[in-house]
Structure 1
Amino acid sequence: MNYAVYARVSTDKEEQISSVGNQIDICRNWLERNGFQWNDDSVYKDEGISGTLLLDRPAMQNIIEKAKLKEIDMIIFKSLSRLTRDLKDSLELREIFQQYKVRVVSVEEGYDSFQSNKNDMNYELWSFFAAQYSRTLSVGITSALAAKVRRGEHIGKVPYGYDVIDKKLVINEEEAQVVRLMFELYTEGLGYKKITKKLNELGYLSKTKQLWQVTSVQSILQNKIYYGTFILNKHTTIKVGGRKKQVKNPEERWIVFENHHPGIITEEDWMKANSKEVTNKKKKITAWNELRGILKCSECGSNMIVMQSHRKKVNGTKTIWAYLKCSRHRRYGQAGCVSHEPITYSELRKFVIEQLIQKGKEINLKFNSDFENQMIEEKETLKKKQVQLITKNKRLLDLYLENVIDKSQFEEKKAELDKELKATEDQIIKLGTKKYKQTQITNISNAFKELERMDQDLHHIFSILIKEIVMHPDGTLDFEYAFKNSQ
C-alpha cells in the first residue's frame, strides 16, 4: 500500500509542542505497529502555514493530486488539527479521499476510515472541535491583549515618536518633533507627498533608519495613537476563497482605550488635521491599474504605478489623465529612484494588448508540448536555485562558526534563506503536478480568447499571459511572457 504521512505546523511557537519531527515519529510508530514498512519519501510537510488555509498548502495539494492519480492509497497524520482547523475544509478533504478510495488515519483520535463504515459522526465532531479551537484561541488572545492594554502596556510594533520602557509607551522627544512637524505641515495645506519630500530633504529618517515613504506619513497622520488613544480589534482576519484576508472591523467592534499613554499632539490638533475641511482638499481617487504587480521599474525593481493628474480649462472643467510612475520614486522622490519619461496609462494598455494579440496569432498547434517543455525548463531552473540556496545556507553556518558574523546576523540571514528555499521547493512541487500544467494551458488559451474585449478589466488576463514587463526610464519595455512562441 502506498501511503502519505502528512505533518503541519503553523508557527515557531507551535513547533515547540507539536514539531514536525514529533508528528512524523507518531505516524511512523503507528505504521510499523500495523505492519507497514517505513519510507522517508512518503513524508509531506507544510511548515509555517495556518491550518485554516487549504489552498496555500503545497504539500497537501500534492497529496490530493496523487490521490486523484491513484498514486497513494492511505493518508496518515498525528491528529485532525494537523490536517486542518477549518470545518468546511476538513469535510471537503474527507469527501475527496473517499471519492478516490484513500484510507484516512488520524492517530491521536484513533480514527480509521476503513473501520468507521459509513458512520463518520466522530470525524465530524473532532473536526468541529479542531475548528472551534482556533476560534476559542482567537477570543482568548484578544482578551489577554485587552487586559495588557488596560494595564497601560503597549502591544505590537512601537510607533514612530515613542519608545517602550517597562512595557509602556514613552515619548521619544527627537522623533516626536518630527511627528508634530508632519501635523503642522499637513494642517497648513501640504499633502502626503510634499511632506515626505520635505522630511527626506531635511535628513529625517524613519524608525528603521530608512527614508520616509508616503504611506508611512499618511499612516502617522491618521493614527489616533498620537493623542494618547490605543485601539484594539480594529481589524479582523476572514477567509475568502480559501485564503486569509485582513479587513477593517466596524467602529462599534473596536476596543478603545483613551488616555492610554502620553500624547505627542492634542486631540484637537488631530481632529483638525483629520477634519473634512482639511482632508477633502487632498483626497485623490487612485487610478485603476490592470498591470499592478506586473509592470516593474528597470532601475530599482519596484512596481510602476498609475498616478492621476489634471489641468483646468478656461471654462472651469478639468482634463484628467493617468500616467505611470515608479512607486519608489513616488515614495522617496529623487532620493529613491529616477523619473521615467511620461507615458499615459491608456497608451501603455493599448500597446500591451496589441503585443499580446500579435503573440496569440503566432502561437501554433504545438502550444501544448511547448508549454510542457517550458515547465520542465522552469523546474530545472528552480532546482538549480534550490541547490544554490542550500549551498548558501551551509556557507552561512561556516561564517557563523568561524565568528565572521554574530548570532543575530546569522539568524536573520538564515530565516531569509529558509523562506526563499521553502518558496522555491513549493513551486517545484506545484510544477510537478499534472493538474497545474493542464490548468495553466487552459487558462492561457482562454485568456487569448478574452483579450480583444478591451472594455473589461484585463488584470486577470494580463496576470495569466505575462510574467513581467520591465519599463526603462526612456519608456522602452521588455516583456517576459508566461508562454513560449513556437515559431
Structure 2
Amino acid sequence: MKKVTKIAQNTAEITERPKLRVAAYCRVSTDSDEQRVSLETQIKHYESYIGANPEWEFAGLYYDEGITGTKKEKRPELLRMIADCEQKKIDFIVTKSISRFARNTTDCLELVRKLIRLGTFIYFEKENINTGSMDSELMLSILSGLAESESVSIAQNNKWAIQKRFQNGTYKIGSSPYGYDAVDGELIVNQAQAEIVRFISAAILSGKGTCSIASELNRSGLTGKHGGRWKSSTIRGMIRNEKYTGDAIFQKTYTDEHFNRHHNNGEKDQYLIKEHHEPIISREDFEAAQIAIEQRGKEKNVEKRSKKYQNRYPFSGNIICGQCGGTFKRRIHSSGKKYIAWCCSTHIANIEKCAMKYILDSDLEYAFIAMMNKLIFGHKLVLKPLLASLRGMNNRDSRTSIKELEKKLNENADQRKVLVGLMTKGYLDPAVYNKSNNELLQEAERLQRQKESFVRFLSSDSRYLNEVSELLHFTSKAAMLTSFDGELYSRFVERIRVISRTEIGFELRCGLTLKERMVN
C-alpha cells in the first residue's frame, strides 16, 4: 500500500496585504465661478470616496483648473500625476469620465497604455471602465473618440460665436496687452505701464535696438506684463501691436482641427476696428517705429518673418535640448574673452526647470566636422548597405501586403458579425462570445498596426531613398573636411539633439541619427 503523508494546513497568520495607493484626477475647462464650484465638489467627492474604502490609501488629488482638455501638454497637474506614477507613488487612479481625462483619442490611449506599462490602472466612473480588467481597448477608443468629437463640436460652435462678435464689433477682449487693463471687456489705459510703452516707442525712434531697450528695462528693475524679464522679442511684439494706436485687429491667430494654434498669415479672415479704445501712442509714431524696425532689418540684411531672419545662423532653430525639449538660442558670452555659445531657452528662463548648460559654437562645429569625416571615410560600410536596403524594399510588395492585410481585416469584421448573430439568437454562451470576440479584436488591432506601418513606409520611402543617395554621392567624392561648412550642415542635418554637454546626436535628413562626443 502506498504511503500517504498529510501536509498540515498553514494556520499561521496571513500577512496583511498592502493597501492600494489611489489618486484622483479632476479638471474643469474654464475658470468661471460655476466651474470652480464644480471643481470643489469633485475634490470633496474623491476625498470621501477614496477614504471610504478600507483597502485604499489616499495617494493625492491632482486637478487642473481653467485649462483645456484637448492637449495633455497644457495640463501641468496631469503631467505631475504621471511623473508620480513613474516614481511608483500611485497604484490606481480614479477620474470622473473619459472627457475629463482627455478629449483627444490619441492622448487618451497613449496615456492609458503608458500607465498600464507602469502598472497603474484607471477607473472611469461615468463609463464604468477599469483599464486593469479590460480585455481590449476597443470600447475605450470608441468612447474617447466620442469625447474628442464633442470637444471639436464645442470648439466649432465657440469659433462661430466669436467670429460673429468679430463681425458685429461686440467681441470683448479678455486679455489685455502691457499698458492696458481689461475691465468688463474694455481696454482701459494703465498709466504707469503706458509710460513704459511711450518710452519704448521713443527709444526705437531714436535708433536704439530691441536688445538694448530690453537690457535697459531689466537693469532699471522694471518687470513685464506677468512679472518676467524683458526680452527683445517682447519689445518687437509691442512695437508691432496696433492696439497701442487705439485700433484692434481680431483673429490674429487661429486653431486648427488638431487644436494647434497658428499665426494667421491670411489663412483666415481678420477684422479691424478703428478707434476701438483709448490710444497710448499716435498712429504717426507707430508707423515711424515700423519703418525704423524695417530699416534696422535691412541694415542687418534680414527681412521680417523670412526664413533668413528666423535662421540667420546654421544652428538657429534646430538644436533641441535632450532634457526638456526646449530650443537652444545663440548667445555671446563676454566674461573676459568673448565667445559664442548655444543655450537652452528653458534653462535661460528658469534654471530650476532645466539643468542643461551652454555648449560652445566651436564645439558644435568640430563635432559636425568629425561626424562628416567619419561618413566620408566609412561611407561604404554605412551608407551603401543602407541605400541597398532601401532599394530592396519594393513598393509593389508593400502595396500587395497592404491589400492582403485589408482582406484579413474585412474577414475579421465578418467573423465578428457572425459572432454577434449567434449571440443574439442565443446559440452562443456569453463567456464564449466575449473570449472569441476579444481574440478577434486583438487580431484586428495587430493587423491594423501592420497596415499603418506599411503605409508610413510608402509615404517616407522615396524621400529617405533620395536623401541617402545624395549623402552617399557627396561622401564618396568629397575630401576630408578641415573647416565647418554651414551650407553643408543645412543640406544634410535635420536637427541636433543635445544629450549632455559631452554628447550630441546629429539627426540627418536621411533618417540616420549619429552620436558624436564633444571636444573638451
The TM-score range, normalised by the shorter chain, is 0.3 to 0.5
Structure whose alpha-carbon radius of gyration is higher: 2
With structure 1 as the length reference, what TM-score do the two structures score? 0.47
TM-score scaled by structure 2? 0.45
